[in-house]
Structure 1
Amino acid sequence: MPHLFPRFAPDIRNLDLPLIDGHARIPPAFLLDRDGPFEVNYIPFESVNLAARVVLVGLTPGFVQWRNAVAEAQVQLRGGASADEALSAAKRAGAFSGPIRPNLVALLDRIGLHRWLGLPGCATLFGQHAHLLHLASLLRHPVSRGGKNYSGTPAPIAHRFLRRQITEYFAQEAALFPDAVFIPLGPAVANGLHWLAKEGVLQPAQILDGLPHPSGANAERIAYFLGRKERSTLSTRTDPVRLDSAREALAQKLERLCGGTGLVT
Structure 2
Amino acid sequence: MNKSIAVARKCLEENLSFDESAYICKREARFFGIIRRNIIQMLDDLDLNRVLHLGSSEELFSDKDFLLHTTSLIPYAVFINGKNYTGHSPKILKNELLTLFLETYFKPQAAQLQNALIIPLGKGVEEVLSRYIREGVIKEENILLGFPHPSGANGHRLQQFSMNKERMKETIRAFFRKG
The two structures have a TM-score, normalised by structure 2, of 0.86
Q: Which residue of 2 aligns with 1:234?
A: none
- 2:122 maps to 186
Structure with more relative contact order (C-alpha pairs < 8 Å, separation 6 or more): 1
Cα distance per residue 1:227-250 (max 9 Å; x no partner): xxxxxxxxxxxxxxxx52x22221
Q: State the Cα distance separating 1:163 from its structure 2 match.
A: 0.8
Relative to total residues, which structure has the larger helix share, 1 or 2? Answer: 2
2:30 paired residue number: 95
Q: Does 1:131 align with 2:49?
A: no
By how many angstroms is 1:140 displaced?
Answer: 1.5
1:64-213 equivalences under 5 Å are 66-77=1-12, 79-152=14-87, 153-213=89-149
Instruction: Report the alpha carbon displacement of residue 135 of structure 1 after superposing the two structures with TM.
Output: 1.4
Which consecutive unaligned segments of at least 5 residues does structure 2 have? none
SS in 1 for 2:97: helix
Residue 225 of structure 1, CA deviation: 6.1
Match of 2:153 in 1: 217
| Gap runs ≥5 in structure 1 | 1-65, 227-242
Asked if 2 retains the 8 angstrom alpha-carbon contact of 1:114 and 1:120, the reply is yes
- How much does 1:96 deviate? 0.4
Change (3 A) 1:220 1:175: closer
Determine if the alignment matches structure 1 residue 250 to structure 2 residue 168.
yes
Q: Relative to total residues, which structure has the larger strand share, 1 or 2?
A: 1
Q: Which amino acid aligns with 2:147?
A: L
Q: Which amino acid aligns with 2:151?
A: S
Residues 85-128 of structure 1: per-residue CA shift (max 9 Å, x gap): 22212212332011112211111112222233222221211122
Q: CA RMSD in A?
A: 2.2
Q: Does 1:261 align with 2:178?
A: yes
Q: In structure 2, do the counterparts of structure 1 residues 163 and 207 end up closer, same or farther at CA, with 3 Å as the change threshold?
A: same
Identity among equivalent pairs (%):
34
* Inter-partner Cα distance in structure 2 for 1:166 and 1:114: 30
Larger radius of gyration: 1
Amino acid at match of 2:166: E
Q: What SS does the corresponding residue of 2:118 show, helix, strand or coil?
A: strand
